Structure 1
Amino acid sequence: MKGKNQFSKSEFKQLKILIKEKQTADKTEQKSIRNRIRKIGFYFSDFSNKKKGYDISDLEQLVKTGQIKIVGLINNIEKPKIATKQKENSKQTEVNTFNKLNLTKVLVNFAKNRFEPNKDLENVIPDTCGNYIICLKKQSKLPKSEYKVELQSFDGLNVIYTGIAGKSLKKRDYRQHFKGNAGSSTLRKSLGVLFGYKLIPRDKNPESRKTKFDLKDESKLSDWMNLNLVMYFLPNSDFDDLENKLIDRLNPPLNLSKNKNLINESFRKNLSELRNNRNNNILKQRI
């Protein structure tokens, strides 16, 4: 990398001004402006092989995908300031954890990172850690269940699941959930058993309790997910803490282990039994 991938708020503001000027400048002026941009530490070639130049939207996309970061912001959300304990001291201190960050503002930033698997290319999803929210598209519904499900809304859509990616949002969010199998995706397994798909052993090892669906059902499930689901993502390093807050706030019905909300409790219990009972049946068939 020739330059850097972290910039202060003032540097980022200056970059936007210079890039805008570069777009309307003649060739001689463009060379001078490029030198000023590089002096700040920004080299577009560090992030892209594009050779036809770049504009402000390209810069903002790099921030959106987490490839460059703005110091003093949490994923492009300004950190709120709180007064110090001493009243005589008028200085304010920045908060750098999600514990004190307004979750509403975090959700606003989530909404900026919307991914529709049947339309968007996976390269818009950053290869970094973070959180994600899975929603049903409008007019889409979960598979029928004997238990009523109450869904919370986010960005005008019904939330069904939220999760974390400890290493890569691209690999965990998109590839494992939308292109993988139920053996490595609890989301897929939950949806599949609701559809009534039969679980089969994932591994050849007879001691393994991991399960998935057969190729035909996995393919049908992938098609349904790509057509009916929308994913939102947020690159960040506080993903564990944020996940707990998202579960408390959004009450996603397909989140089982950390969801203690009384609403949808019967549905979650039934879903857990469906998954476990099917696993037990498979184990019995092996013996």
Structure 2
Amino acid sequence: MKGKREFTESEIDRLRELIRKRVHATREQQKRIRDAMRRIGFYGQADWGIRNCQLADLDGLIRSGQITVTGATAPRTTGVATQPGGREQEASKVAETDERVDELDCSDLDFKNIENLRRNGFSGFVSVAALRPDLTQIPDIRGVYMVVRKIGSRPQFRATGSGGHYKGTDPNVPIEKLRMNWVEETCVLYIGKAGDEHSQATLRSRLRQYLQFGAGKPIGHKGGRYIWQLWDAEDLLFCWKPLPSGNPPKEETALLAAFKGQYEGRLPFANLRL
């Protein structure tokens, strides 16, 4: 074992701070953060088999007893239990607290307004054309994302889009179907997620698949495929909301429900099911 199994309360708090900072850090900054975590004695991959450690991963190690926290005095930490089952109860509180940090509040979302999406924690807003040569702009972490189009000109559809034929299946649909699916007065065309308890997908890996599919490659990413039949598909914008310790499927469901609430039960143009 390269690191240690026992950490002080202050060391755990410092690890939490470093993990949170890494979410929006550049590659070089991430390296410095990883080195700082190792100086504390935490080697995520070497000792625990964890790459890109999230708050939920750290909590899981503490909750399972693989990591021990010494000198814990505040209820928020997972250290000394004051009653039978206390450690598990406190660990659960920590996990719940950290998850709430990343949860989206959909009550103030306005799906007509890009600036409103920014104020609600979405970032990026980079065009398909600009993302293709540089995927490092996308956070390598789980989360939710949207495809947006500035409200303005009417959409123009193509009978044959640029989507790939995965396992020989034609992804294109009749133009009339695209017209029927189109939702007026919104900039949001698609809402998706990356990563869950069964998947290690990140925003970067998921959007890489999405873009590869849109470039004609036979990739298994048919979700949101309608956007590739728009004439201005390369000008569409991708934005994202990292959820390092949140629940992407839950947030995706909440976003879709909020959208349906604003648009008389309709889903975004390229979302085919809730």
TM-score, normalised to structure 2, is: 0.42
The structure that is strand-richer by fraction is 1
Q: Answer 1 or 2: higher relative contact order, Cα 8 Å, separation at least 6.
A: 2
* TM-score normalised by length of structure 1: 0.41
Structure number with bigger Rg: 1
